[in-house]
Amino acid sequence: MTFNDLGLIEPILGALETEGYKTPTPIQQQAIPIVLQQRDVLGCAQTGTGKTAAFAIPILQLLTQVHAERVHHRIKVLVLTPTRELAIQIADSFAAYGRNLKLRSMVIFGGVSQVPQVQELKRGVDILIATPGRLLDLMQQGYISISDLSIFVLDEADRMLDMGFIHDVKKVIAKLPAQRQTLFFSATMPPEIQNLANTILTRPERIEVTPVSSTAETITQSVYFVDKPNKRHLLKHVLQDESITRVLVFTRTKHGADRVARDLTRSGIKAEAIHGDKSQNARQRALGNFKDHKIRALIATDIAARGIDVDDLTHVINFEIPEVPETYVHRIGRTGRAGASGTAISFCDAEERADLKNIIKLIGRQIPVVEEHPFPLGSAQVPETPPQPVQQQRGRNNGHQKGAQQHKKQQHKDRNNGQGDARPQAEKQQQQKPAAQSQQAPDARPAQQSVHTAQQQAKRHNNETRKEQHQQKRHNRHHAEKTEQQPVKSTPPQERKDNTPKKAESPQRPFRLDLDDVDLSW
């Protein structure tokens, strides 16, 4: 079968011939006729099988023939992708296949200024390729209207879920017109993706050209068992093979990608890292240098690798085994594309054996183990941590502290030599006394608490008794003196600042000496 047998129009056939396309891939053979019938599609095919052309080619023909009466240069097609690299790749494909058509396509994504994107949107667009975040942002600002939308494409749906974009995707879907054609493509089809597809597709045609999560037969796979510290040495050893002109190395983390790139660069191997923390210009520059053979190794994370489409990429190395088995299929799918041969090498340490077993179970085939290499598992030597030197404090007390330390060392040395402890006996007893008290403290604590409680109760009772006696005495004295004479008025005392109770002051009385009360025995 050729593209001429699929009923494509001449402008598109001419563009495909210019691109060198002769025979459609299996997913293209099945998807193109169904999309041209304006039916919903649920497509599942491994990476590198031509999914982009499977929906881009028929969409271009539908816009030219069926939807030509719509308002010109209004958004009629929306393609939603998870990463910037994949969005750029899809935009390039639409531009290449539709070079002979009068249709406008553009791509928008975050991480860059929105001003150029807004200016291009104002000039009019037929096909919009976007990432979820920037799309929602511009829609909320009123720069994007999808009221004239006819076709919605959700590409790499499984990666949308992995990256946590599912909520943004649902927000976009809620704003779509009810009458539309939906194309749902994914490299893998886990149950979550199937549930999402059931909610947005209407009687879709399922296309599955290969078993779910299977690997291409043209890819030669192998695994090296190696200790984690020796992985970087093994990578340099593998890259000594000069036949490996370009290699894509996968790491789990962004920091790991930077570390591997720096290590290879120090060893004389030109390498660059690409991940989400890099700016868009830096990512495009690294990818361009890799495609132009300016660097030999490109170190990437799983998210950034989506959309990396490099012709004639022969080798892929898994520096770390992925935790998700389906990710392994995505990784090695970067090589062996469109029927070409490729090589996938994996480094597995002791902690990653379980992840490797899950991958083998998923793909349904054993991965050959390379036994002969200079860094077998268990050969890594853990270096002993040297003792850290003690930094001396600087200051006026440095000499005193140094002398005290020497004195303690001498005492310890004397004790070890059997000379006994030269400290005075009183000092020994004084140091032993707290220890003895600490041993007795737990047993005496309840008794002490009970004694303390009894003392508080007795003290409170005595205070109340003395207060009553004082009030009674004051009353009697005041009654007796009232009959004798009028008391002299005294100045009222000033209020105290504290909260202590005021003492009652007795009125002043005239001085009177009673000799009966005087002791004259002297």
Residues 78-105 pLDDT 10s = 999 988 888 988 999 999 999 999 899 9
Q: Which residue has the higher pLDDT, 296 or 480?
A: 296
Question: pLDDT > 70: what percent of the chain?
Answer: 71
Q: Which residue in 316, 277, 320, 312 sits closest to 297, CA to CA?
A: 316
- Give residue 455's region: left, alpha or beta (phi > 0; psi -120 to 50): alpha
Average pLDDT over residues 261-273: 94
Q: Model confidence over 320-354: pLDDT tens digits?
A: 999 888 788 878 888 876 567 889 999 999 999 99
pLDDT band at 229 (very low <50, low <70, confident <90, very high): very high
Is residue 128 very low, low, confident or very high in pLDDT (cuts 50, 70, 90)? very high
The whole-number pLDDT of residue 354 equals 93
Report helix, strand or coil for 239.
coil
Domains of the chain (ranges, CATH numbers): 3-208 (3.40.50.300), 219-363 (3.40.50.300)
pLDDT in tens, 382-416: 544 444 554 544 444 444 455 555 555 555 555 55
Closest CA to 133 of 104, 176, 185, 171: 171
pLDDT classification of 450: cutoffs 50, 70, 90: low
Is the separation of the CB atoms in 505 and 490 below 8 Å?
Answer: yes
**Which range among 10-14, 174-178, 421-425 shows the weakest confidence by mean pLDDT?**
421-425
The pLDDT value recorded for residue 287 is: 86
Higher pLDDT among residues 506 and 134, named by residue? 134
Higher pLDDT among residues 379 and 129, named by residue? 129
Q: Is residue 204 predicted with pLDDT exceeding 60?
A: yes
What is the predicted pLDDT for the residue at 210? Answer: 61
The predicted-structure confidence for 242-260, as pLDDT tens digits, reads as follows 889 999 999 988 999 999 9
Q: Tell me the C-alpha to C-alpha distance, in Å, between residue 33 and each of 131, 312, 336, 481.
A: 27, 29, 26, 125
Exposed/middle/buried for 90, CB within 10 Å: 0-12, 13-18, 19+?
buried
Residue 212 has pLDDT above 60, yes or no: no
In which band, very low, low, confident or very high, does the pLDDT at 451 lie, cut at 50, 70 and 90? low
pLDDT at 189: 74
CB 105, CB 95: distance < 8 Å: yes
pLDDT at residue 428, rounded to an integer: 47
Q: What is the pLDDT of residue 186?
A: 79
Residue 468 has pLDDT above 70, yes or no: yes
pLDDT of residue 47: 63
Residue 106: band (very low, low, confident or very high) from pLDDT cuts 50, 70, 90: very high
Tell me the average pLDDT across 65-70. 66
369 close to 222: Cβ distance less than 8 angstroms: yes
Among 45, 24, 31, residue whose Cα is nearest residue 211: 45
What is the share, in percent, of the chain residues with pLDDT greater than 90?
39
The whole-number average pLDDT for the span 181-195 is 83
Confidence of residue 483 (pLDDT cuts 50, 70, 90): low
How does the average pLDDT of the chain come out, rounded?
Answer: 78
Predicted local distance difference test score (pLDDT) of residue 339: 63
pLDDT at 180: 93
Higher-confidence residue of 67 and 497: namely 67
Counting beta carbons within 10 angstroms of the beta carbon of residue 420, is it exposed (0 to 12), middle (13 to 18) or buried (19 or more)? exposed
Instruction: Give pLDDT tens digits for 295-312.
Output: 999 999 876 666 567 777
Higher pLDDT, residue 435 or 153 = 153
pLDDT in tens, 6-42: 989 999 999 999 988 888 988 899 999 999 999 999 9
- Once rounded to an integer, what is the mean pLDDT over residues 346-369? 92
Note the pLDDT of residue 299.
Answer: 94
Q: What is the model's pLDDT at position 271? A: 95
Instruction: Let me know: does 359 contact 386? Beta carbons within 8 Å.
Output: no
Rounded CA gap, 40 and 45, in Å? 16
